[in-house]
């Protein structure tokens, strides 16, 4: 008799996005004649893939149909041409060797799988609020205890990201084994400073912990004082794995290509010997992964061509300009707004005595605008909602006009 993995039943039932969909559907059923909804909640890009990248994708696809250029299985860790381009362009002067770059089909999968390398009773720490992947994949692996009434899980070290600490947590007093840090954090839009990364590197060295850095939005970091990579800080190669994706930076959400940096210097002492995480991850990928499609890796390589770089930078600039526009508009209405300068998200405080779901409902019903309630990203996300600037430019302008025409609620007046 097949039996189920009972750990799946521990996952939170009220998963955020299905609940949002449900409320939108209910609104639309009740108001079939409503003006169009404006979606400012998107976690997916809205601009298409840039022309030079599509050209590379098509060219490589045609190669696959010719006898002398056809390619079958490639290396599980990716083709050297892409690994070299990444090391050369994204890690200039940081001493990352192409051999330390593992190509994959998404940060989602990689960060969900990487924990397989560690003991099942490893203690994890996650930011609160943050992207739900880190917690849920560890629930599935049995690293959490029971779901508490607060919505938190026993056995997990939560790292509060609040207004008081600028949404960037310091290391805890207690020892943990695996630390998930999202840089810049989705949903708050805040990146780690060099000083804060340094504190975490010191912590990891002291407790022999491993830092798992989600850099899905690193390309949006524009402030020169903010490190794009944790490897800009000394000692990081001994304690940190960094995951990055072409998804949000180059519109690859539907193509699927990402990479993980697993430095050779990252070694763990266990069973009386030191072990290389690089070797373990290589073994894991060789067993369970057969690599990313050749045309997609060629498309990713084109992101680093002169033309590709130009096009991709312009896309990111447009998203950040939209963020600035929205930031300005909401601030003018009297709202308290964070993020948006180094990330495509704004983290907006709800009016007094208004929960994040209440503000979500208000915006849906009164203004026909879709957002994401902060509570869905963790207990400390309560009191905030997330706006995304992955939106059509016209819909942002229209949203601002709607806010202005009905702004008393947002500015904190009752009702």
Ligand X SMILES: *Cc1c(COP(=O)(O)O)cnc(C)c1O
Beta bridge partners of 376: none
- Residue 183 vs 327, nearer CB to ligand X: 183
Sheet holding 156-160, edge to edge: 101-104, 258-261, 240-245, 210-214, 178-182, 124-128, 156-160
- Asked whether the beta carbons of 104 and 258 are under 8 A apart, the reply is yes
CB of 104 to ligand X, least distance (A): 8
Structure tokens at 367: 């203004």
- Residue 303 vs 335, nearer CB to ligand X: 303
Q: Which of residues 22-61 bind ligand X (CB under 6 A)?
A: 43
- Residue 323 vs 335, nearer CB to ligand X: 323
CB of 81 to ligand X, least distance (A): 20
- Residue 86 vs 410, nearer CB to ligand X: 86
Q: Which of residues 230-269 bind ligand X (CB under 6 A)?
A: 245, 247-248, 253, 258
3-class DSSP assignment, residue 150:
coil
- Asked whether the beta carbons of 78 and 292 are under 8 A apart, the reply is yes
Structure tokens at 37: 């909804």
CA dist., res. 69 & res. 221, Å (int)? 38
- Asked whether the beta carbons of 250 and 301 are under 8 A apart, the reply is no
Number of C-beta neighbours around residue 331 at 10 A: 13
CB of 34 to ligand X, least distance (A): 29
- Residue 131 vs 203, nearer CB to ligand X: 131
- Asked whether the beta carbons of 80 and 101 are under 8 A apart, the reply is no
Query: How many residues line the site for ligand X (CB under 6 A)?
Result: 14
- The crossing angle, in degrees rounded to 10, of helices 133-140 and 107-114 is 40
Q: Which of residues 56-85 bind ligand X (CB under 6 A)?
A: none
CB of 182 to ligand X, least distance (A): 5
| Options 57, 182, 201, 236; binder of ligand X; rule CB under 6 A | 182
- Residue 211 vs 216, nearer CB to ligand X: 216
Query: Which residue is closest to ligand X by CB?
Result: 106
At a CB cut-off of 8 Å and minimum separation 6, what does 62 contact?
none
- Residue 297 vs 354, nearer CB to ligand X: 297
What is the pattern of x (binds ligand X, CB under 6 A) and - over residues 86-125? --------------------xxx-----------------
- Interstrand relation of 258-261 and 240-245 (parallel, antiparallel or unpaired): antiparallel
- What beta strand segments (E) does 34-132 contain? 38-39, 101-104, 124-128
- Residue 107 vs 410, nearer CB to ligand X: 107
Number of C-beta neighbours around residue 394 at 10 A: 9
CB of 387 to ligand X, least distance (A): 14
Write the burial class of residue 272 (CB in 10 Å: 0-12 exposed, 13-18 middle, 19+ buried).
exposed
- Residue 131 vs 338, nearer CB to ligand X: 131
- Residue 39 vs 214, nearer CB to ligand X: 214
CB of 252 to ligand X, least distance (A): 7
CA dist., res. 395 & res. 322, Å (int)? 10
What is the pattern of x (binds ligand X, CB under 6 A) and - over residues 335-374? ----------------------------------------
At a CB cut-off of 8 Å and minimum separation 6, what does 152 contact?
158, 379
For tokens 């809205």, what's the residue?
46
CB of 130 to ligand X, least distance (A): 8
CB of 185 to ligand X, least distance (A): 8
In angstroms, the Cα distances linking 259 to 65, 238, 289 are 27, 18, 13
CA dist., res. 64 & res. 299, Å (int)? 14
| Options 131, 134, 319, 390; binder of ligand X; rule CB under 6 A | 131
Q: Which of residues 210-229 bind ligand X (CB under 6 A)?
A: 214, 216
CB of 406 to ligand X, least distance (A): 30
CB of 217 to ligand X, least distance (A): 7
Which residues are at the interface with ligand X (CB under 6 A)? 43, 106-108, 131, 182, 186, 214, 216, 245, 247-248, 253, 258
């Amino acid at each position: 008799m097949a039996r189920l993995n009972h750990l799946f039943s521990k996952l939170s039932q009220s998963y955020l996005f299905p609940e949002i969909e449900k409320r939108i559907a209910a609104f639309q059923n009740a108001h079939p004649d409503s003006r169009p909804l404006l979606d400012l909640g998107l976690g997916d890009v809205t601009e298409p893939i840039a022309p030079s990248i599509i050209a590379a994708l098509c060219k490589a696809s045609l190669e696959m149909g010719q006898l002398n250029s056809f390619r079958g299985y490639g290396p599980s860790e990716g083709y050297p041409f892409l690994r070299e381009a990444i090391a050369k362009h994204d890690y200039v002067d940081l001493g990352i060797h192409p051999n330390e770059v593992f190509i994959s089909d998404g940060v989602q999968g990689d960060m969900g799988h990487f924990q397989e390398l560690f003991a099942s009773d490893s203690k994890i720490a996650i930011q609160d609020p943050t992207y739900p992947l880190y917690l849920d994949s560890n629930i599935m692996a049995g690293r959490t205890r029971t779901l508490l009434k607060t919505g938190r899980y026993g056995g997990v070290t939560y790292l509060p990201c609040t207004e008081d600490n600028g949404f960037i947590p310091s290391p805890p007093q207690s020892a943990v084994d695996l630390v998930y840090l999202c840089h810049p954090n989705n949903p708050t839009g805040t990146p780690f400073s060099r000083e804060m990364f340094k504190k975490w590197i010191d912590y990891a060295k002291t407790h022999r912990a491993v830092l798992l850095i989600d850099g899905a939005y690193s390309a949006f970091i524009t402030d020169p004082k903010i490190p794009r990579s944790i490897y800009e800080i000394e000692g990081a190669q001994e304690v940190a794995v960094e995951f990055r994706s072409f998804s949000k930076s180059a519109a690859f959400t539907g193509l699927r290509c990402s990479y993980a940096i697993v430095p050779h210097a990252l070694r763990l002492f266990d069973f009386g010997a030191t072990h290389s995480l690089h070797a373990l991850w290589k073994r894991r990928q060789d067993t369970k992964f057969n690599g990313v499609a050749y045309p997609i890796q060629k498309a990713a390589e084109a992101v680093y061509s002169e033309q590709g770089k130009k096009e991709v930078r312009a896309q990111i600039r447009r998203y950040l300009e939209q963020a600035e526009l929205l930031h300005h508009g909401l601030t003018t209405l009297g709202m308290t707004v964070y993020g948006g300068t180094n990330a495509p998200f704004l983290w907006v405080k709800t009016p007094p005595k208004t929960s994040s779901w209440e503000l979500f409902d208000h915006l849906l019903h009164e203004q026909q605008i879709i957002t994401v309630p902060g509570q869905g990203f963790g207990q400390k996300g309560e009191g905030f909602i997330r706006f995304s600037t992955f939106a059509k430019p016209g819909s942002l302008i229209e949203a601002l006009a709607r806010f202005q025409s009905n702004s008393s609620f947002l500015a904190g007046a009752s009702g």
